[in-house]
Chain A
Amino acid sequence: MRALIVDDEAPARRRLRGVLQGIRTIRQVEECATGRAALDAVRRESPDLLFLDIRMPDLSGFDVLERLPPERQPAVILVTAHEEYAARAFAVHAFDYLLKPFEDERVIEAVRRAASHLAWLRHGAGMIPDRFGDVRVDLAAQCVRRGDAVVALRPKEYALLLALLRRGGRVVTRLELLRDVWGYADTVESRTVDTHVARLRRLLEPDPAHPRYIVTVRPLGYRIDL
């Protein structure tokens, strides 16, 4: 994979480069110090992963996201010291959100998940992933199996599982889930999602107290690790 780092601070770029160069699947790492340079580099290099700072002098990370050419959409991982932008980041479909300063493992994990997300995007051709862990989903029969046993899901639980799978490992906010599964308006706050997720975990996770596949992304929503 090719990665592009966009940050106006040289030490911050070097920090990320240091981690990325140690990841076997990453072949090439480029750097830019401004949003405009980043847009040029995306058009020129078509990177797979875009590590994007939010507060930059010319264009903000969100401006860059808006102007990305539609035919060259990398997996965008926002990297920032501001945690208050998380909601907006996932609303514009950023793949992940790294808070500075971070640990190496957090970057490595983000790259691993982004790689499987990209693989799904490219090879699954938009198909809904139908397996994670020992869970298999028969989309035609709307039937969920764990190992050999059929798991009895209620209709909303099945719809919720599908809504998570459809994103191919990307974060889904509670509001998106409420809208997709329950048809709520954008502004309705509800714990409904949480209670249904808790039941899905009880039925599908090996250890529901420490979920491995249906992961909470605080404070916004959930994702399925494929």
Chain B
Amino acid sequence: MSQRRVVLLTFVGWTLVAIMFSFEAQLRPADLDRSPGWVHAIGWRLAGWWSWAAFTPVVCWWTAWLRRVRLPLALTGHLVGGAAVVVLCAVVQGLSRWAIGLYHPSQGLADGIALVVRAYWPFNVVVYVTVVGLYLALTYAREAQARERRTARLETQLVQARLDALTARLQPHFLFNTLHAISALVAEDAKSANKMIARLSELLRLTLSRTRTPLVTLEQELELLDHYVAIQEVRFSDQLRVRTHVEPGARAARVPTMLLQPLVENAIRHSIGDGRGGDPALVEIGGRRSGDRLRLEVSDNGPGFVGTAPDDTGGEGLRNTRERLQQLYGDHHLLRLTNGAVGGARVVIEVPFEEEHARADC
């Protein structure tokens, strides 16, 4: 809400209170201190409540400031500040009524104002407490609403991120093609079909369980990759060979989950059936520690990057990988796509070498 609107609402609010009290003063029986006329009744109350309208922003600002301090100090602040406001407001109320000719103190202005303060302070204390209470109630309600909205937004983002992660990682067509290959094996080799079902189940289990885990060990990543590669080797039979060379010392390193699978998927897709005179596609996965860096490499014997951007799925997979690396490591990572010395595509990733236990302390 804009500041101008708040000021206007405060002014209108207190004016309505003043009119209500004016009616009450004017309509009461004559022997119960009725006002001497409508003009007097309304003028007297407006002078009193508009004084409060002027002090309301001060009380709200003071209350807001005292929310930042501890409770005993806040209570003391309200005691001191409240007393000052109660007295000052009574002074303003007396002076304004005198100024518009409704108050005629017989003992002189100073004594008249002192009399107003003495007469009005208990009522002004009630008004002060009411203003503070209303301000706190409105503020808490607004904050609770904003918190609720933020929580809902965060939850939506989280769910979306998980879904994105899952769909980006395992393409539905991979699942259907694998089921189709299993369907072929069922008739001709039930044992192999069972093996394939077990591999696929394991792969799905690992993928689903990792949607909540941004980092895993390289060992765990290779375990997932092993299931994936085994399935692909059955699907593409003698057209595909996959070799893994990862130093034992590198396997404890923490890496973003599902980092290698999209890269291996791309490598397989671009190197299968590339017309090498019947030679199978060869995909190699490498990993080693180099000082405080972990270096991972996926290469193939396909046509390599030939001037154009990788096609849709590959592009998406790489973009996803790049974004996750940027999010996790900022500028402390490297993702390089090159062509190998003897042909084929090569993707190199370097990230800080962090072992499981090093992060576990954080």
Tell me the smallest distance from the CB of A116 to a CB of chain B, in Å.
27
Q: Across the interface, do A100 and B274 meet the contact criterion of CB distance under 8 Å?
A: no
Q: Which of B88-96, B130-138, B182-190 contacts A (4 or more CB under 8 A)?
A: B182-190
Q: Across the interface, do A33 and B239 meet the contact criterion of CB distance under 8 Å?
A: yes
Asked whether A14 is an interface residue with its Cβ less than 8 Å from the other chain, the reply is yes
Asked whether B224 is an interface residue with its Cβ less than 8 Å from the other chain, the reply is no
User: For the complex, would chain A's binding face be called helix, strand, loop or mixed by DSSP majority?
Assistant: loop
Q: Which of A3-11, A132-140, A152-160 contacts B (4 or more CB under 8 A)?
A: A3-11
**A221-B274 Cα distance, complex, nearest whole Å:** 37
Q: Which of A40-48, A52-60, A61-69, A168-176 contacts B (4 or more CB under 8 A)?
A: A52-60
**A82-B312 Cα distance, complex, nearest whole Å:** 14
Q: Across the interface, do A11 and B180 meet the contact criterion of CB distance under 8 Å?
A: yes
Tell me the smallest distance from the CB of B225 to a CB of chain A, in Å.
20
Q: Which of B30-38, B42-50, B171-179 contacts A (4 or more CB under 8 A)?
A: B171-179
Contact with B along A1-43 (1 / 0, CB 8 A): 0000000111110110010000000000000011010000000
**Contact A8-B188, Cβ < 8 Å, known A58-B273, A101-B176:** no
B174 — nearest CB in chain A belongs to which residue?
A81
Q: Across the interface, do A18 and B184 meet the contact criterion of CB distance under 8 Å?
A: yes
Number of A residues with CB within 8 Å of any CB on chain B = 22
A-B contact count (CB 8 A): 71
Q: Across the interface, do B180 and A10 meet the contact criterion of CB distance under 8 Å?
A: no
**A14-B272 Cα distance, complex, nearest whole Å:** 18
Asked whether A87 is an interface residue with its Cβ less than 8 Å from the other chain, the reply is no
Taking CB atoms, residues of chain A closer than 8 Å to B238 are 10
Taking CB atoms, residues of chain B closer than 8 Å to A34 are 273, 275
User: Shortest 4 CB-CB distances between A and B: which pairs?
Assistant: A15-B184, A81-B176, A100-B180, A57-B273
Binding site for B on A (CB under 8 A): 8-12, 14-15, 18, 33-34, 36, 55-58, 80-82, 99-102
Binding site for A on B (CB under 8 A): 172-173, 175-177, 179-185, 187-188, 234-239, 269-270, 272-275
